[in-house]
Structure 1
């Protein structure tokens, strides 16, 4: 059962990822990505796996220690619960990145591979996105400043 739940956690998140990667400009994708409720099914899987090993989870998180955490992940339910938590947080992170990318006008041809990278290695993809976001915001600010200079009325002397 635990192996099934482990797999299910990713399959429950997959439709949202598929929309953001393969249908990024569709209205339904923006609506789905804007909802934090998308992670609830994954969190139900988390709770299902976490409840039986809750004492071990509590020990691992209340007194963080690498050996306690290792013991937790040696339990199938513990490893599955950690996996479901990672899937849920990665999905929320991916949704925020998708929405920010759309807001900033970053091309889906750039964002889609970055979202795939987020599924695989979010701790590396997130800083890459933050760098891309900073560059995009800086160039947008420069463009806006340039537009302000060209649209200002010229004062007429001698009136």
Structure 2
């Protein structure tokens, strides 16, 4: 008679995690490279201020953020828009709203007169409060 199962087999049941670690490292590198690309928006060189106030409401998804670039182009969030379209959008958006606030990110090389012109147009459209965005100066 043949006896089965009495001999011991040396089966290695360990899981090799090296390939998984390699894949995780590659994914980490991919995410590190692509994340800054997703966060880019309109390039505006904001003026520097020593004591700017924090405005966390400017980061909310329903905030009205207007950018005025060095070239004089106007952007609503990240979308290029004409001045007339901006006024129409602001008027429609703020109808019936309690909080009638807008945030303006103007490039530091834009003339003061152009900024005042945009502010005046937005005031006529119903904006009650306008936050002028600035970057905090780096302390030396």
The TM-score by the shorter chain falls in which range?
under 0.3
Higher helix share: 1
Higher strand share: 2
Q: TM-score, normalised by structure 2?
A: 0.24
Question: Rg bigger for which structure?
Answer: 2
